[in-house]
Amino acid sequence: DAGVTQSPTHLIKTRGQQVTLRCSPKSGHDTVSWYQQALGQGPQFIFQYYEEEERQRGNFPDRFSGHQFPNYSSELNVNALLLGDSALYLCASSPLATSSYNEQFFGPGTRLTVL
């Protein structure tokens, strides 16, 4: 079982650019959540995808958008990058439809640096 995978591992961009991060969920999981984790902080919920639709959204601007594909993999897109977008971006998957509780399994994350 491959677990949750994310790509790329590290990424450096400049202000104003756009970035796409990718996530493949754990086998058997159909729900993907994205989090932003600044250094020394807990993860902040960005949004959650289920059945290819955004199911929940945290307090993030429209510059943050996402997509879920029929195979349950997901992308996070960030437009017009700001310095403050520098963070670890975590993807988590969960078997929402079949689980009694929302245990989430995290990928290794993508470290985004905006210069």
Footprint on this chain of another protein (rule: CB under 8 A): 33, 35, 40-45, 48, 55-56, 58, 90, 96, 101-109
Give first-to-last CA distance, the chain, whole Å: 36
1 vs 101, beta carbon nearer another protein: 101
Q: Tell me the three state secondary structure of residue 23.
A: strand
19 vs 91, beta carbon nearer another protein: 91
Residue 84 is classified by DSSP as G
Residues in CB range of 11: below 8 A, 6 or more apart: 19, 21, 110, 111, 112, 113
17 vs 92, beta carbon nearer another protein: 92
| Least distance to another protein, CB of residue 93, Å | 12
| Least distance to another protein, CB of residue 68, Å | 16
| Cα–Cα distance, 25 to 37 (Å, whole number) | 19
| Least distance to another protein, CB of residue 36, Å | 11
CB of 29 within 8 A of CB of 36?
Answer: no
56 vs 79, beta carbon nearer another protein: 56
| Least distance to another protein, CB of residue 43, Å | 5
| Cα–Cα distance, 20 to 17 (Å, whole number) | 10
